[in-house]
Structure 1
């Protein structure tokens, strides 16, 4: 199977069409050309968009917040402390903005689909693996946008963003996410793929809103946003992701495709099971960190990000 995939990549580079019998609306006119060419373009676009938003919106608002906090406390921060504050502020502003956009896009692309409330519909119409049902333009486009985002997110995480205690876990998460996106596109698990992206992006909005509130010195708002984050994380990433998405991907392709149509689901079945388990164990690790923050809050602390080595700059 891997040799066949390599051959298809070579064919795409040579300009030969590749569709595996999968009908759909491809932006460039070819399914493989879409996934090879578009994500790097979107990645470059995200870098430019982030630079523009930081320069004209996020950093000016951060300077205003920082100035208000210094005036309120009657003290002046030194230059390194100001730079670190703005770095964290800009990062959270960007993530809050982009995850809000992604969540809105994914919800609008799936809310009217039958599989939004019935996961068995993920597989309806497919008779082989890779799945051979129709891929609408909105799903293909969202896949390329998300892949492009994570392509640029990896170097940003490595060289630019604040390095927290769970940096290694975050890096592993980004790599596993890219692997799942590319591979699910290859085998055309695009219906569950878009839902997985939706489930994962919602809670990140609340987390970044909580950080921004804390950076702004609004502890009550930070606590409220963090409560929404913790609740959405546990419900969406721990419960629904496991009981709905993972369970459906592990059982329904066998029951609805492999057995009725005498299709061998390997190696896709084992690869997806492995990637899902790695992702889910990362979720459980971060859930443990979240519960630490909840315990700290209940014992009279603040809803700070326990991943950070030093919270003194954040109040």
Structure 2
């Protein structure tokens, strides 16, 4: 049964143009072709990236954060409460008023105290500015280096200047060593992003990020296995520019989509692999448009006089009014649950 599924999945008619088979992409006469087995190396590469990222964020990124004056934000703590913690974890981080009243009776606290406990507990779950900066610094550094390396790989190739050259002789196109390393590094990086997603900053576009990582991994892997390597290197180079050349990227991806949709039909009839590749490419373009809209909206807010512009993708800390502090209960070790020991010291002196 496994062999049947394997044979069906790798059926020539699905992934290759008419009259071509996988035997046409076997190494011969000095020609080297991309192979699916090459992609195994990207998994250990992903773990290597995760180690490098850990060291980079705690050394280089932390140093730049210190230079720029970015520090950890001190958040108000909460008094440990097993009943409220269980509700926070199991039920809802934003309880309804009826739930707040029920928890109030169980804990012996006022509804106001329960609301404040949940508010502060939610704030503790939110990532700090320093964590966001470290993550952004790592990604920015990688994309700059990857974009530079990508240009070095393709700038001297004829298909960089004439997109029709991308399909000349396809898919009988030999694989170059520079293309191999470019693919392995890029795919390893996106595997590392997918593996570390549980520890990264959770944003409002979390689902879109997952879709983006999965779509990118599928696109890179598919283009490698079916020898769409020339088109793949163009897509990756343009994609790496997205964080700091967003508008150029959108236009560049549109040109590449035109290249992958129109030019191949001049050489062979459409087949499943043709539709699959372009569908994934369109998904990535839609995500670029989505993030471009968020960035443009933040830019418009800034230009209209809102000097402090929050990241549209991130939750902001909820405010904690000072008038709420008077009904806070003291905590052991000289600390009030808001984390300010001086308040408790003043209260002791007044007695």
Q: Which residue number corresponds to residue 121 of structure 1?
A: 165
For residues 89 and 19 of structure 1, do their structure 2 counterparts lie closer, same or farther at Cα, with a shift above 3 Å needed? farther
1:157-172 alignment runs, 5 A limit:
157=197, 159-172=198-211
How far does the alpha carbon of each residue in 1:195-244 deviate from its partner, in whole angstroms, 9 at most, with x for none? 1111111131x3xxxxxxxxxxxxxxxxxxxxxxxxx312222x2211x1
Is 2:241 the partner of 1:241? no
Is 2:99 the partner of 1:55? no
Give the counterpart of 1:3 among 7, 31, 35.
7
Q: Kindly name which structure, 1 or 2, has the bigger radius of gyration based on alpha carbons.
A: 2
How far does the alpha carbon of each residue in 1:105-142 deviate from its partner, in whole angstroms, 9 at most, with x for none? 1010011111112111101122xxxx111111111111
CA–CA separation in structure 2 for the residues paired with 1:96 and 1:201: 9
Moved more, 289-298 or 170-179: 289-298
The Cα shift of 1:268 comes to 0.8
Query: Deviating runs (4+, > 4 A) in structure 1?
Result: 4-8, 22-26, 78-83
CA–CA separation in structure 1 for the residues paired with 2:63 and 2:131: 12
- Write 1 or 2 for the structure with the bigger share of helix: 1
CA–CA separation in structure 2 for the residues paired with 1:142 and 1:110: 10
CA–CA separation in structure 2 for the residues paired with 1:39 and 1:51: 18
Contact 2:46 2:189 (8 Å CA) reproduced: yes
Contact 2:153 2:178 (8 Å CA) reproduced: yes
Is 2:60 the partner of 1:20? no
Q: Which residue number corresponds to residue 277 of structure 1?
A: 282
Q: CA RMSD in A?
A: 3.0
CA–CA separation in structure 2 for the residues paired with 1:112 and 1:179: 27
Is 2:264 the partner of 1:253? yes
Q: Which residue number corresponds to residue 149 of structure 2?
A: 105
Contact 2:235 2:253 (8 Å CA) reproduced: yes
Give the counterpart of 2:293 among 282, 288, 293.
288
For structure 1, list consecutive stretches of 5 or more residues without a partner in the other structure: 9-16, 71-75, 207-231, 259-263
CA–CA separation in structure 1 for the residues paired with 2:69 and 2:278: 46
CA–CA separation in structure 2 for the residues paired with 1:164 and 1:181: 25
1:138-287 alignment runs, 5 A limit:
138-157=178-197, 159-204=198-243, 206=244, 232-237=245-250, 239-242=251-254, 244-255=255-266, 257-258=267-268, 264-287=269-292
Contact 1:106 1:142 (8 Å CA) reproduced: yes
The Cα shift of 1:63 comes to 3.9
Is 2:314 the partner of 1:308? yes
Q: Which residue number corresponds to residue 341 of structure 2?
A: none
CA–CA separation in structure 2 for the residues paired with 1:5 and 1:172: 23
The Cα shift of 1:25 comes to 4.9
For residues 19 and 160 of structure 1, do their structure 2 counterparts lie closer, same or farther at Cα, with a shift above 3 Å needed? farther
Structure with the larger RCO, 1 or 2 (CA within 8 Å, 6+ apart): 2
Give the TM-score normalised by structure 2.
0.65
Aligned-partner SS, 2:156: coil
Contact 1:25 1:137 (8 Å CA) reproduced: no
The Cα shift of 1:86 comes to 2.1
Give the TM-score normalised by structure 1.
0.72
For residues 18 and 87 of structure 1, do their structure 2 counterparts lie closer, same or farther at Cα, with a shift above 3 Å needed? farther
For residues 294 and 87 of structure 1, do their structure 2 counterparts lie closer, same or farther at Cα, with a shift above 3 Å needed? same
